[in-house]
Amino acid sequence: MSKINIITVILLICLVSIECKQDYTYYLFEREWGNTICKTRSCKPQYYLNYNGQDFNVHGLWANGSVENQCQYWQNCEDDDYVQSELKSDLLNWMDEYYVGLYNDSEDFRAHEYEKHGTCYNYDSDVTTNAEKENAFFGKIQDLTNQYDLVKAMNEYGIYASDSKLYNQNDVMNALAQSFNNYDVNFTIKCQKIQNKYYLSIIDLCLDLDFKLMDCPCTSSSCNSPFYIPASFPTSSSNNIRKEIY
């Protein structure tokens, strides 16, 4: 059999086999501070469901990197569809509080994240049906949210949401390092400038394939000026900007 035919056979097997794995090298786990996001987005009750602005909202868990290119961005690896009714009720209840669309329909947002990113996740060999994959993917996100509890880490270090108190990037870096017992990782902390003031917007954690913390190879922090962590949750915005879902 020729080399070309062998490659063709392998590719065909991968198209139908659940054993085929994506060769990504790490995960990027992104969470956003809703009270900042909603300062410039049209957040509505039908979108944010039970989210109350007292914790970070999950944006996504994304498979990233390859041996050739650490900045490679994996997406749409399979044709699986998101079916929300297949999620376990306790998991869905959790998502309605910590994984919502904010300024987009939450079910549409989750469908986008699952179909774009969840289809690239390397599932255990015994996870075969779409329902099993959905529950495994979002269940892992729930586990990681609890394991790497950002608000708890910040509170233990004396950092609390406040509309009047300023913090700096090192404050948050040190809080996370202390709580997660990892002083070797540079966490990615992003801020947003709104009307000449800076607000904490996003915290990214990069995780190796064993879900252990690692440096993010392709993202960097942007909170070079003192910033607020707003405590109030704006439910509407005069700046009606819609942001692309990543």
User: Which residues have CB under 8 Å from 196's CB, separation 6+?
Assistant: none
Q: Which CATH number fits domain 24-229: 3.20.20.100, 3.90.730.10, 3.90.550.10, 3.40.640.10?
A: 3.90.730.10
CB-based contact 114:134 (threshold 8 Å): yes
**Backbone angles phi and psi of 140, in degrees to 5:** -65, -40
Q: What is the pLDDT of residues 8-48, one digit of tens each?
A: 444 444 444 444 567 999 999 999 999 999 999 999 999 99
Average pLDDT of the chain is: 90
- Rounded Cα distance between 188 and 41, Å, is 22
What gap in Å lies between CA 236 and CA 154, rounded to an integer? 27
Is pLDDT above 70 for 86?
yes
231 pLDDT tier (thresholds 50, 70, 90): very high
**Half-sphere exposure at residue 94, Cβ-oriented, CA atoms within 13 angstroms:** 16
Strand ranges, E, within the chain: 26-33, 56-64, 162-167, 188-194, 197-207, 213-214, 227-229
What confidence tens digit (pLDDT) does each residue in 175-227 have? 999 999 999 999 999 999 999 999 999 999 999 999 999 999 999 999 999 99
Cβ proximity of 200 and 191 under 8 Å: yes
Per-residue pLDDT, 234: 77
